[in-house]
Amino acid sequence: MPQQSPYFASVSDVGKRLAAAGYLTDPAIATTVFLADRLGKPLLVEGPAGVGKTELAKAIATATGSGLIRLQCYEGLDEARALYEWNYKKQLLRIQASSDDAAWDAVHDDVFSEEFLLARPLLAAIRQTEPTVLLIDETDKADVEVEGLLLEVLSDFQVTIPELGTITAVRRPLVVLTSNATRELSEALKRRCLFLHLDYPSADREREIVLSRVPDIGTALADQIVRTVRALRALELKKAPSIAETIDWAHTLLALGLDTLNEEALRATLGVVLKHISDQVRAAGELRLN
């Protein structure tokens, strides 16, 4: 594979350019993204739902001016959906269109050529000549067999098709895998990846995120929202509110025209941050809303 020039010059460059793409990093995120680019390794991002794992991949694509190819994993995902598939309808047409049996040899080689290959996300990403970010989303949802499928793609950036041979990447894509950690991914997969555990951000960073996503909200209210969300997270709820919920909440309060978060406002909008009724009851009790 030809040496390709890295996208980012330094760790601080990563931070700056991701911030310009609307994603505020902390040193850990910036360093890991920088290493993924420098060492040419896939990046496995793990963490609870809604802390911005998918957003990170999108921001990297924006910051580097790359195209984004996304493979959404689900239970039952197979080779034909992830890697490639032969376009058998077109193959049939080709066979029927060729006139006599004289052309059999030609046809039989012909129907297994590039023309009849349907590239699915993994193969598509490998064959791109333009800069590409490949996002493999919710890897933990896929079956264990799919991980085996990913190994060849992730370590050597190549795909082997029995009828055609091995297709090697012209330009190595930047790969981001995300996982909610509902199950432990295999050691073989983890070994090939850089690991980044994204957790709920520090108060400072979360405040900045809210301010950058919802610019119309005042600093004081943003601060209040962030502190309240942190108090909620400390409660051991079924589903602790994540950054996505914090931002939704800020939008909600803004839309309602509230400029301070008091008991009344919290009671009215608790459904935005807590999505289980038992969590709401619990939070109301602990935060003395009644």
Partner 1 sequence: MTQGLLGHLADFVRALRSAGIPVGVSEGIDAAAVLGAVDVLDRRQLRAGLAAVLVKRAVHRPAYDTLFDLWWPSLLGEGSAAGQPSGDDSPTDPEALREELARLLLDGDLDIDNEALRRFARDAVASLGRGDAVPGRQSFFSYRVLRALSPDTLVSRLLDALLAGADRGGLAEQVARQTIRERIAALRAAIEDEVRRRVAEERGRDGVARTAIRPMADQVDFLRAQQQDLAALRRMVAPLARRLASRLAAKRRRGRSSRLDFRRTVRSSLATGGVPIVTHHRPHRPHKPELVVLCDVSGSVAGFSHFTLMLTAALREQFSRVRAFAFVDTCDEVTRFFAPGVDLLRATQRLSREADLVWFDGHSDYGHAFEAFVERWPDVVGPKTSLLVLGDARTNYRSPGLATLKGLVARSRHAYWLNPEPRRQWGSGDSAADVYAELIEMVECRNAEQLGAFVTRLLPV
Residue 54's SS3 state is helix
Beta carbons of 132 and 172 less than 8 angstroms apart: no
What's the closest the beta carbon of residue 125 comes to partner 1, in angstroms? Answer: 22
Site string for partner 1, 44-63 (x = CB under 8 A): --x-----------------
Asked if 197 touches partner 1 (CB under 8 A), the answer is yes
Q: Which stretch binds partner 1 (CB under 8 A): 62-70, 90-98, 108-116, 199-207?
A: 199-207
Residue 225-264 contact track with partner 1, rule CB under 8 A, x = bound: --xx-xx--x-x-x-----------------------xx-
Residue 32 within binding range of partner 1, rule CB under 8 A: yes
Using alpha carbons, list the distances in angstroms from residue 131 to 106, 223, 244. 36, 39, 29
Strand, helix or coil for residue 97: helix
Based on the shown chain and the rule CB under 8 A, indicate whether residue 41 belongs to the binding site for partner 1: yes
* 83 CB neighbour count, 10 Å cutoff: 23
Check binding of 11 to partner 1 (CB under 8 A).
yes
| Dihedral-angle region of residue 148 (phi above 0 means left; psi in -120 to 50 means alpha; beta otherwise) | alpha
Q: CA dist 224 to 108, 134, 234, Å?
A: 69, 37, 16
* CA separation for the pair 171, 239 (Å, rounded): 40
Which one of the spans 52-60, 80-88, 128-136, 183-191 is the region binding partner 1 (CB under 8 A)? Answer: 183-191
Q: Look at residues 241, 246, 178 and name the one whose alpha carbon lies nearest to residue 212.
A: 246
Residues contacting 31, CB < 8 A, separation 6+: 11, 14
According to CB under 8 A, which one of 9, 93, 164, 203 is a site residue for partner 1? 203
Query: Burial level of 22, CB count in 10 A (0-12/13-18/19+)?
Result: middle
Taking the complex as a whole, how short is the minimal distance between the CB of residue 277 and partner 1, in angstroms? 6
- Spatial CB neighbours of 110, under 8 Å, sequence gap ≥ 6: 94
Q: Which one of 182, 216, 255, 257 is in contact with partner 1 (CB under 8 A)?
A: 182
Q: How far is the CB of 81 from partner 1 (least distance, A)?
A: 17
Q: Kindly state whether residue 38 participates in binding partner 1, applying the rule CB under 8 A.
A: yes
- Kind of pairing, strands 117-119 and 84-86? antiparallel
Under the criterion CB under 8 A, does residue 184 sit at the interface with partner 1? Answer: yes
**Among positions 2, 75, 99, 257, the unique one binding partner 1 when judged by CB under 8 A:** 75
Which part of the chain contacts partner 1 (CB under 8 A), choosing from 101-109, 111-119, 164-172, 186-194?
186-194
Positions touching partner 1 (CB under 8 A) are 10-11, 27-29, 31-32, 34-35, 38-39, 41, 46, 75, 143, 181-184, 187, 190-191, 194-197, 202-204, 224, 227-228, 230-231, 234, 236, 238, 262-263, 266, 276-279, 281-282, 286-289
